[in-house]
Amino acid sequence: MKRKTIIFIVIFALLFPLAGCRKEPEQKYMKYSDSFFDTFNTLTQVVAFTKSKEEFDRYYESIHARFQELHKLYDIYNNYERFYIVDGKVIHHLIDPKTLMPGEYYHAVSVVAQDSGVADFMSTTLFLMPFEESLALAESIEGVEALWVMRDGTIRATEGMKKIMKSKGATNSGNQ
């Protein structure tokens, strides 16, 4: 009996200090999502796995703010989004005030500016002007950078836009 008592006391003495030492439960990642519709006329959904709703909210606000920043910088006009065909000719919605016909200088014009209204106005205006005039106007306005996709597919850009672009056509096709 003494032996059993001694074994019991030894086991108890060894296990007793461990009784209050529970491992802290790990914080598991949870899936959170939210969405916004106020940029690029597109529903944007943000889905993330984070350890807390507060952490997700911080990421979400950061992402949303960045999208809003990008949204106000960029506008593009092109001749292939809104058009119809008459006698085999593409007719689009940007009318040249000189000819009263759709502008035919470019396939597209993209503008980056601090204000989306300026970018919208400038992309339309530049689309309807011959290149040299269009370039001169874009370069004369501080904070406006532009890129033109010419009728033959080549790309032209203001010096500031060239600095913004990561790739000058990506195919190394000799575009200016």
List the domains of the chain with CATH numbers. Answer: 26-71 (no CATH), 74-164 (3.10.520.10)
Q: What is the pLDDT of residues 82-92, one digit of tens each?
A: 566 767 776 66
Q: Which amino acid would we find at residue 58?
A: R
Structure tokens at 94: 């940007």
Distance CA 23, CA 39 (A): 46
Q: What is the pLDDT of residues 119-155, one digit of tens each?
A: 888 888 898 889 999 999 999 999 899 999 888 888 8
Average confidence score pLDDT of the chain = 76
Please check whether residue 93 is in contact with residue 81, taking contact to mean a CB–CB distance below 8 angstroms.
no
Distance CA 115, CA 170 (A): 28
Q: What is the pLDDT of residues 19-38, one digit of tens each?
A: 555 666 677 899 999 988 77
Burial of 142 (0-12, 13-18, 19+ CB in 10 A): exposed
pTM over 0.75: no
